[in-house]
Amino acid sequence: MFEQALQLLKKYYGYDSFREGQERIITSILSGHDVLGIMPTGGGKSICYQIPALLLPGVTVVISPLISLMKDQVDALQSIGISACAINSSLTQSEAEERMEAAKLGAYKLIYIAPERLDSDRFRSQLQTLPISMIAIDEAHCISQWGHDFRPSYLAIPSVLKALPERPLLTAFTATATGEVTQDIVRLLQIDPTQTFVTGFDRENLKFAILRGENKRDYVLHYLEQHREQAGIIYAGTRKEVDALHQELSARGFAVGKYHAGLSDEEKSTYQEQFLYDDIRIMVATNAFGMGIDKSNVRFVLHVNLPKNMESYYQEAGRAGRDGEQSECVLLYHPQDVQLQKFLIEQGTAAVERKASEYKKLQLMVDFCHTTRCLRNYIVEYFDESPKVPCGVCSNCQDDSEVKDITVDAQKIFSCIYRMKERFGVTLVAQVLKGSANKKVLQFGFDQLPTYGLMKSYKEKEIGDLIHVLIAEGYLVLSDGQYPVVRLAGKALQVLKGQANVLQKVRVRSERAPIDSDL
C-alpha cells in the first residue's frame, strides 16, 4: 500500500518522496490506526490525509475551521485533478444539498466542511448516508479549551462518529504541540496516545536570530534597506504599533501593507492579496495575520515585539521559507514586552490555572531570548523532538564571543537570592546587588545584607540580564504569576557549594545585527 502512496504522491503532487514525518503518519493510517499528527505550519500536513483519502474507498470528510483555508485546499486539489468540494456557510441551502447528493453518488474523494455544520441535525443525518472512510480534522487544537482557538462545535465530533453506521478512521492534525492540548485531543477523540506523531519542527532552512537592545525602528529600516528585493513579514504586538510602523515605512517609500483585526474586511483582503501576488513586498501585521496564508517565498519574518509563547512565535516565524529556501527569522527582544504580555495575561478572563500556564509559557519564551544554546535546537526541544547538532547559523551558534567562567558572579547572585529568602523578583534582587537606595530595598532592610552592592560595578540592567540567563540555563526558577519570585534550583546549590562552575558565552552587544547581508 505504501508503494501506491508514493506513486500517488508523484502522480498528483509531483514530489519524489515523503518527508520523514509524512511517511510515518501515512504508514500508520494505512495500517488502520487513528492518528494525531503534530506538525508546524508548512510541515506538509495536508498530504498526510489527502493521499490516504485517495487510497481508501469512499469519501474523506475534512473538518476545517476557516472558509478561506478550505477554499484554497479545494482549489489546489481540483487543480491537480482530485475531486473535492467544500460545504460551508458560503453556499445556499440548495447548493449544499446538491453537493451532498453528489457526494452520495461518489462524486468526491474529499469533502471539506466547517465544524459548525455538525451542529445541524439535518446535516448529521445526511452524513450517515455517505460512504465515509475517514474523518480528518484540521486544526485539531480547536477541540481543546487550552488551545488558542477553541471551537465548541469540535466537541460534537465524537458523537457524530458514533452515530455513523460504520466507524471511519479518524485523523487529527495541528501545529500546536503543548502537552495540555495534545492530551485533550487524544482524550476527546479517543486516539491511542502512541499514535501521536510530532514531526517537522526542525526547519533546516530557517536561520534564527535574537537581538537585544536594538532600536526597533532603526533596525527595521536598516534591515529592509539591506533586503530590498525580498518579501517579508514584520510582526508587531499591537494594532497601534502596526499602524505606526506601516506609516513610517510607507512614508519612506517601501511597498508595504498592513493587517490587523481593526481593519475592514476589504482592507484586509486587499493587502493580503497584494502581498500574496508580490505587489507589495512587506506586510506589517499583528498575530491576526497568517492563519491559512500559504505564501511560499517569504524570505524573512521580523518580530519587533515578544510573542506570548513559543507556539505563537514559531507559527509566525515558520511562515518564512515555506519553499525550502534559506530564510531568516529575527526577534528583537525588549524586557518591556514581557511586562506587556504579563499585563495581557492579567487582563484576560482566563481561569486561574489557565493563567498560570500562560505565565509558564511566557517564561519559556523569555528563556528562548536569553539562552546561549543553539536557537533552533531550543525550538526543536521545546516541541518534543530530539535535539540535533547545533545549526551553526543562528545568532547563538554564530556568536563567537568567548566562553567565560562566570561562577563568581553567579555565586553572588545566588547568595543574594538566598539571603533575600527567595521571596522576591528579578528586579529587586538586581537592585540589592547593585546597591540601589530604592525605597523598597531600604524598607526591607536589604541594605544591611552582606550581598548589598556586591555587584555595584555593573549596571542594574546587566545584573537583571545575567539573572535571566541563569534562569534560562536552569540555575534559577521563576514562580508563576504576575509577580514571579526567583528561587534557587538544585544546580545553583552545587555552584554555591563550589561543586560546579558556571560557564557562559558572554554576549558582546554589537552595533548591528550579526546577520549576513548577502543572504
The residue whose grid cell reads 521571596 is 423
Q: Decide if 195 contacts 28 (C-beta within 8 A).
A: yes
SS3 for 298? strand
Picked from ligand ADP, Zn ion, none, the partner binding residue 44 (CB below 5 to 8 A depending on kind) is ligand ADP
Q: Does 45 bind ligand ADP (CB under 6 A)?
A: yes
Binding ligand ADP by CB under 6 A: which of 4, 10, 11, 15? 15
Grid cell locating 99: 453537493
The answer to whether residues 492 and 414 touch, using CB atoms and an 8 Å cutoff, is: yes
Which residue from 445, 401, 399, 442 is spatially nearest to 419, judged by alpha carbons?
445
Closest approach of Cβ 515 to ligand ADP, in Å?
A: 25
Q: Does residue number 22 form part of the binding site for ligand ADP (CB under 6 A)?
A: yes
Interaction between residue 203 and ligand ADP (CB under 6 A): no
Please report where in the chains the cell 495575520 appears, as a residue: 289
User: Cell for 35?
Assistant: 492518528
Evaluated on CA atoms 79, 300, 472, 386, the torsion sign reads positive
Count of positions on this chain that bind Zn ion (CB under 5 A): 6
Minimum distance from CB of 155 to ligand ADP (Å)?
Answer: 23
For residue 301, the minimal CB distance to Zn ion (Å) is 17
Residue from 5, 29, 38, 39 touching ligand ADP (CB under 6 A): that is 39
Residues 137-196 that bind ligand ADP (CB under 6 A): none
* Cβ proximity of 288 and 237 under 8 Å: no
Q: Which of 306, 311, 254, 305 is CA-nearest to residue 283?
A: 254
Tell which one of 294, 399, 462, 480 touches ligand ADP (CB under 6 A): 294
Site for Zn ion in 395-424 (CB under 5 A): 397
Candidate residues 21, 28, 41, 414; the one interacting with ligand ADP per rule CB under 6 A? 41
Angle between helices 352-370 and 460-472 (to 10 degrees): 110
Please give the Cα distance from 313 to 296 (Å, whole number).
Answer: 18
Long-range contact set of residues 146-151: C-beta below 8 Å, sequence gap at least 24: 146/178, 146/180, 146/181, 146/184, 146/354, 146/357, 147/174, 147/176, 147/181, 147/184, 148/176, 148/311, 148/312, 149/65, 151/65, 151/115
Residue 307 within binding range of ligand ADP, rule CB under 6 A? no
Q: Residue 209 phi/psi, 5° resolution?
A: -140, 140
Stretch of 40-48, 164-172, 220-228, 415-423 lying at the interface with ligand ADP (CB under 6 A): 40-48
Using CB under 5 A as the binding rule, whether residue 374 contacts Zn ion is answered as yes
Give the contact letters, 309-328, x = binds to ligand ADP (CB under 6 A), - = no: -------------x------
| Stretch near Zn ion under the rule CB under 5 A, chosen from 76-84, 135-143, 375-383, 460-468 | 375-383
In this chain, which stretch among 103-111, 124-132, 311-319, 386-394 interacts with Zn ion, using CB under 5 A? 386-394
CB of 285 to Zn ion, least distance (A): 26
Binding site for ligand ADP (CB under 6 A): 15, 18-19, 22, 39, 41-47, 294, 296, 322
Binding site for Zn ion (CB under 5 A): 374, 376, 390-391, 394, 397
